[in-house]
Amino acid sequence: MARLYVLLFLAQIVLAVCALISCLSAEEGQIRALPRIAWVLIILFFPLVGSIVWFVAGREPGPAAQKAWPAGGGSTDRQPRRPLAPDDDPEFLRSVQDRARQQDQELFRRWEEDLRRREDDLRRRDGEPPREGDRPEV
């Protein structure tokens, strides 16, 4: 029986430490009902009950919990939007595609100019005049 009490005491301590870490690392917009210092004191003075109450009522639910349990009348846009990562931002991806397309077109134009110059050089070497009408316009 003593081992069970030790195990329950350790579980209570672990729960209280997790609740304290969660409370102290939460941003101001994620804490509900009471100020942070009040939550810390509740968790410290009433470790089991305070920890459970913190996880149930003291913090805003995460994004996964908000999708699973939508709030009845509350707004879900309380937190400001985080900036998107570059590979998630559609404008950034569009600008990368446009830049790549422009670079490809410039490279293609230079290749065509080089090819025309080489053809003209070969024709001059063979004694033929360069042909202007055969070239496609870009």
Task: List the chain pLDDT tens, one digit each, 138 residues.
Answer: 888 899 999 999 999 999 999 999 988 888 888 889 999 999 999 989 999 999 898 877 666 555 544 555 555 555 566 666 777 778 888 999 999 999 999 999 999 999 999 998 888 887 776 666 555 555
Supply angle C-alpha 131, 136, 138, rounded to 5.
130
Strand partners, 31: 59
In the three-class reduction of DSSP (H, G, I as helix; E, B as strand; rest coil), residue 34 is classed as coil
Whole-Å CA distances, 77 to 22, 29, 41, 64, 81: 22, 11, 29, 14, 8
Distance, in Å, from the CA atom of 14 to the CA atom of 51, rounded to the nearest integer, reads 10
Nearest to 43 by CA among 67, 77, 15: 15
pTM above 0.85, yes or no: no
Query: How many residues in total does the chain contain?
Result: 138
In the three-class reduction of DSSP (H, G, I as helix; E, B as strand; rest coil), residue 59 is classed as strand
